[in-house]
C-alpha cells in the first residue's frame, strides 16, 4: 500500500480512514500473493540493515472469512518467504476477535483476521508443521490489542505460550485511550500493567499515548516498547515520550510496521527527530554513557529488538553470524569509522550505504542488492499489478 494512500479523502484523514483502505486491500490477497509480497518486503529489509523480522501476522482466513483446509496456510506462506529470502523470522500470529473494548462484534472488514480461542490454539499447533526444518525460527503470540481481545481471552492466550514473545498494539491513538477509559476507567497501558503479567517477553507496540506513570511502569516491567516511527509519522499517530522512557532505563526496538518505508536508518532518524520536535532540543535519545546519538540509537534498538524477537543478539559464540558491511566511500565524512560512521549512516539519510549483508554466515546481500532480487521483484510486480488493477 506504500504510496497508494497519500490522496486526501472528503473528510479529515486519520489512522481510521487508512485502516479502512487496508481492509479493502487485504481482502484481495491470496496465499501465493502473500508469499510474493512478503518475500519482496523481507529482501528490502535485508538490504536496509534488518536481519530479523517480528511478523505481526494478521491474515489467517480466506477472503470470505472461512478457514483454509490448512489453518496455517497463510502463516506457512510467510515462513516460506522468510526461508527463501534468508531473513530470521519471529512469527507472531495475531489473535483478533472483536472490533472494540468489551467484546464488541467484529466488523465486516476484519473477517480474514478472526479467531476464537479454540481455533487460535489449533493455528499455533499447525504452524509447527511449517517450521520443522527452521534453524532459528521463533514462535510467539500477538493478542492484537485490548480492543480486539477480552480480558478472559487474554488470560487463555497466555496459557498457550508461557515462554515465547508476546506482542500487543496499545495506546496508538488518542481515541483508543478515551475508549479504554470509558470501558474500564483506566488507560490502556495502565490497565494492561495491572491486569496482565507484563515482563521482559512482552513488546508493547507503539505505546504512543502514555503518561508518566505508564512510562515508568513499562520500564520497570522490563517490557520492550516496539516503536515504528516512520509509520507513526505517516499515520499521524503522535510522538512517544522517548526521553522519559530512556531516563527510566526502558527497552525499545524499531520496526517498519506498515512498510511505507523500509530502512533501519530511517526509523532511527525519525525516532530522534520526533523527540527533537517534542522537546525543542537536540540529541535527545543519547542514553547515559553515550557520546554518539547514532551509536546510542543503534545499540538500544539492537538490544530491545533482540529482546522483542526472543533471541540473543551480537557476534558471540552460539549466536547466528548476522552482520552487515557499510560502503564508507558513500559516507566520506565518516572515514574514521566507529561512532562517526553510525552517526553518518543514521542522520545523513543517504541510500545504499549498506553494501553487503550476511545472515547465519550466508552472503544474502551483495553490492547493495539481495542475491535473488530479480526473481523476487518480478513475482512481486506481477502480484501488485493484479491487486491494484
**What is the set of active-site residues?**
206, 257
- Scanning the structure block, which residue is given the C-alpha cell 464488541? 104
DSSP 129: G
Q: In what order do the strands lie in the sheet with 369-370?
A: 323-326, 354-359, 362-366, 369-370
CA angle 188/109/190 to nearest 5° reads 5
Rounded CA gap, 167 and 54, in Å? 9
Angstrom distance (rounded) from CA 96 to CA 148? 5
Query: Alpha helices of the chain — where are they, by DSSP H?
Result: 15-26, 31-47, 73-85, 117-127, 151-160, 174-184, 188-195, 212-221, 229-235, 242-247, 264-279, 293-309, 338-348, 373-387
For residue 145, give the nearest of 219, 64, 203, 199 by alpha carbon: 203
Phi, psi of 143 (to 5 degrees): -60, 115
d(CA 345, CA 329): 12
DSSP string, 310-344: TS--SS-TTS---EEEE-GGG-GGGTT-HHHHHHH
Give CA–CA dist 348/326, Å, rounded. Answer: 14
Say whether 135 sits in a helix, a strand or coil. Answer: coil
**Rounded to an integer, what distance in angstroms lies between the CA atom of residue 183 and that of residue 176?**
10
Amino acid at each position: 500500500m506504500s504510496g497508494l494512500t497519500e490522496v486526501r479523502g472528503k473528510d479529515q484523514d486519520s489512522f481510521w480512514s487508512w485502516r479502512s483502505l487496508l481492509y479493502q486491500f487485504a481482502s484481495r490477497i491470496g496465499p501465493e500473493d502473500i508469499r510474493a509480497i512478503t518475500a519482496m518486503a523481507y529482501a528490502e529489509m535485508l538490504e536496509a540493515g534488518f536481519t530479523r523480522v517480528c511478523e505481526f501476522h494478521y491474515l489467517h482466513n480466506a477472503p470470505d472469512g472461512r478457514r483454509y483446509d490448512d489453518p496455517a496456510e497463510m502463516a506457512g506462506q510467510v515462513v516460506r518467504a522468510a526461508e527463501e529470502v534468508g531473513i530470521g523470522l519471529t512469527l507472531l500470529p495475531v489473535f483478533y476477535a472483536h472490533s472494540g473494548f468489551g467484546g464488541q462484534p467484529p466488523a465486516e472488514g476484519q473477517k480474514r483476521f478472526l479467531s476464537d480461542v479454540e481455533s487460535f490454539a489449533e493455528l499455533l499447533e499447525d504452524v509447527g508443521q511449517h517450521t520443522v526444518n527452521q534453524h532459528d525460527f521463533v514462535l510467539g503470540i500477538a493478542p492484537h490489542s485490548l480492543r480486539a481481545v477480552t480480558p478472559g481471552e487474554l488470560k487463555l492466550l497466555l496459557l498457550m505460550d508461557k515462554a515465547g514473545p508476546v506482542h500487543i498494539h496499545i495506546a496508538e491513538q488518542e481515541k483508543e485511550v478515551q475508549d479504554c477509559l470509558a470501558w474500564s476507567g483506566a488507560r490502556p497501558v495502565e490497565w494492561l500493567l495491572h491486569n496482565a503479567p507484563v515482563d521482559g517477553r512482552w513488546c508493547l507496540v507503539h505505546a504512543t499515548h502514555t503518561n508518566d506513570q505508564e512510562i515508568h511502569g513499562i520500564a520497570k516491567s522490563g517490557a520492550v516498547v516496539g516503536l515504528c516511527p516512520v509509520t507513526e509519522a505517516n499515520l499521524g499517530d503522535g510522538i512517544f515520550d522517548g526521553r522519559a522512557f530512556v531516563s527510566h532505563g526502558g527497552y525499545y526496538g524499531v520496526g517498519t510496521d506498515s512498510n511505507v518505508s523500509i530502512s533501519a536508518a530511517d526509523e532511527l532518524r525519525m525516532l530522534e527527530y520526533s523527540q527533537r520536535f517534542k522537546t525543542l532540543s537536540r540529541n535527545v535519545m543519547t542514553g547515559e554513557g553515550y557520546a554518539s546519538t547514532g551509536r546510542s540509537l543503534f545499540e538500544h534498538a539492537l538490544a530491545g529488538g533482540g529482546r522483542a524477537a526472543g533471541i540473543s543478539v551480537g557476534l558471540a559464540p552460539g549466536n547466528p553470524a548476522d552482520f552487515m558491511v557499510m560502503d564508507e566511500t558513500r559516507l566520506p565524512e565518516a572515514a574514521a569509522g566507529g561512532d562517526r560512521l553510525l552517526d553518518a549512516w543514521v542522520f545523513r539519510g543517504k541510500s545504499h550505504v549498506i553494501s553487503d549483508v550476511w545472515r547465519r554466515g550466508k552472503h544474502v546481500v551483495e553490492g547493495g542488492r539481495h542475491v535473488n532480487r530479480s526473481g523476487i521483484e518480478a513475482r512481486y510486480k506481477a502480484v501488485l499489478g493484479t491487486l491494484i488493477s
